[in-house]
A and B are shown apart, each in its own frame.
Chain A
């Protein structure tokens, strides 16, 4: 790991000011991706601005717009939250399947969302549930927030503060995980919402994406059989040592069906 300056933020405004004053600073949330990337010298920020002291960002609350989860809420706290389990159990299940117990104790929803790893779990939940990303400057729908591999609509120095998830009628997330890294080789989040059915896929492509054909079929008939015969094209999907693009395309169908069955089983 290269050297850097460490600073602790006392508030979002303080973090924003420290970030602006640094040469090439990065925010530190739980650090479960960032510290690992810095150890491999893939990232070498001039400054780390630690958000851990900004306790206002850890709140999980019910709001008229849905479940609002602070950016610094850990995966473990989302998984253990009675509010989350009651309103959107699929989200609690998803949080409980990220990494392992120790990683979930440190890793945060804001860090995951801002990093937008193409195999991360949360982006699928945000897109399928039609979530809103709150930053210190504005609010953005998840559909326009995620921009592809490790890219988001965040401007330089902009800080994710919370995510609001509208409560769906039914939802489920099923992933086929890499047993070593526990990242999704393919993960599918299916949600039956007030505005229709949404199907979001992570792990398979360069970033999270929706499958309109599946959404239309499930909109007409919310049953796994409705997905029979709907093939996902392998073009543009990832191929690596874990799975070919053709296999990932196949897995999207399998995981989507399982997610529908899981959502129906409630």
Chain B
């Protein structure tokens, strides 16, 4: 079945079986492997991408549900000049990652929540990141990173 959508500002059209998950389309068809598959059961959030401006779990959505939509992955948030997005930079500065497996999902969720809140306290960040799990358990620095990244985005 044919599907057309926009991924990281590029129009994409492909012929796919209807059961293709958005995350598999992103990774296997577009070779954008920054988006990870962690639990594959919509709990861990490693597969988080933006669909039409909102964070969603791409392992629990069919690519056909995103047809005609705008998808942004971690590759799409980095400026063309090779510098980092302010949220990525904050994760680097504040040591917000250890093994890095959850990081792409954390950053995509964090950018979404920074966009919805003018200011963020620790409690709000922790509540909003409920759907992103870090099995290195590096949450303390992740919260610090999100706070700094959001402040930087709002400057």
Residues of A within 8 A of B114 (CB): none
Within 8 A of A (CB), among B32-87: 40-43, 45, 48, 51, 54-57, 60-62, 64-65
Q: Cβ of A100 and Cβ of B131 under 8 Å apart?
A: yes
Q: Cβ of B42 and Cβ of A32 under 8 Å apart?
A: yes
Q: Which of B48, B56, B60 contacts A36 (CB 8 A)?
A: B60
Q: Cβ of B60 and Cβ of A32 under 8 Å apart?
A: yes
Interface string of A123-159 (1 = CB under 8 A from B): 0000000000000000000000000000000000000
**In whole angstroms, what is the CA distance A98 to B122 when docked?**
21
Q: Cβ of B131 and Cβ of A102 under 8 Å apart?
A: yes
Q: Cβ of B55 and Cβ of A102 under 8 Å apart?
A: yes
Q: Cβ of A180 and Cβ of B43 under 8 Å apart?
A: yes
Q: Cβ of A103 and Cβ of B18 under 8 Å apart?
A: no
Chain B: minimal CB distance from A228 (Å): 32
Q: Cβ of A3 and Cβ of B19 under 8 Å apart?
A: yes
Q: Cβ of A3 and Cβ of B131 under 8 Å apart?
A: no
Number of interface residues of A (CB under 8 A): 27
**In whole angstroms, what is the CA distance A28 to B67 when docked?**
14
Interface SS majority for chain B: mixed
Residues of B within 8 A of A102 (CB): 42, 45, 48, 55-57, 109, 131
Q: Which of A3, A39, A182 contacts B18 (CB 8 A)?
A: A3
In the assembled complex, A106 has its CB within 8 A of some CB on chain B: yes
In the assembled complex, B118 has its CB within 8 A of some CB on chain A: no
If A6-B1, A99-B131 touch, whether A50 touches B65 (CB-CB below 8 Å) is yes
If A5-B18, A48-B18, A103-B42 touch, whether A76 touches B60 (CB-CB below 8 Å) is no
Task: Kindly report which residue of chain B lies nearest to residue A74, judged by CB atoms.
Answer: B54
Residues of B within 8 A of A32 (CB): 42, 60
Task: Kindly report which residue of chain A lies nearest to residue B1, judged by CB atoms.
Answer: A6
Chain B: minimal CB distance from A242 (Å): 15
Task: Kindly report which residue of chain B lies nearest to residue A177, judged by CB atoms.
Answer: B130
Within 8 A of B (CB), among A1-48: 1-6, 28, 31-32, 35-36, 38-39, 48
Q: Which residues of B contact A (CB under 8 A)?
A: 1, 17-19, 21, 40-43, 45, 48, 51, 54-57, 60-62, 64-65, 109, 112-113, 128, 130-132
Known: A36-B41, A103-B57. 4 other contacts (CB 8 A): A32-B60, A35-B61, A102-B45, A102-B48
